[in-house]
Amino acid sequence: MIREKIRKVREEMENKPKYLSGKNIQLELNFHKDMEDMVNHPPHYNKNNIETIDAIESATGEGFEYYLQGNILKYLWRYRYKNGVEDLKKARWYLDKLIKITGNREEEDHVNIK
């Protein structure tokens, strides 16, 4: 899907006259926005207004952190061979999620200690 978008953007940019170079920049910006959506909120991971990640968190309970760790490793491991920077952004997304839930838990534990 991403490769198809890249191909379409390249074709559109190559077929535009030079005097429309501002359009080329807008096409590129739209492409990067689409890529960011594929990292943060891929449409195929949100059905019936439920994000898949939320369903996985509910289903795995305490194992959710291990799920996040596994995805971080997966995307770091494969980025050179598959999707490059997009995979690095996905790894960062999962790391940010892990930091957030770990931080929340530590704050709750700290409150409970007092």
Report the pLDDT value the prediction gives residue 107, as an integer from 0 to 100.
83
Tens digit of pLDDT for each residue in 76-92? 999 999 999 999 999 99
Angle between helix 52-60 and helix 64-78 axes, rounded to 10 deg: 130
Domain ranges of the chain: 1-40, 49-114
pTM of the model: 0.59
Tens digit of pLDDT for each residue in 18-72? 555 555 555 555 555 555 567 776 776 676 778 889 999 999 999 999 999 999 9
Tell me the C-alpha distance between 33 and 29, whole Å. 6
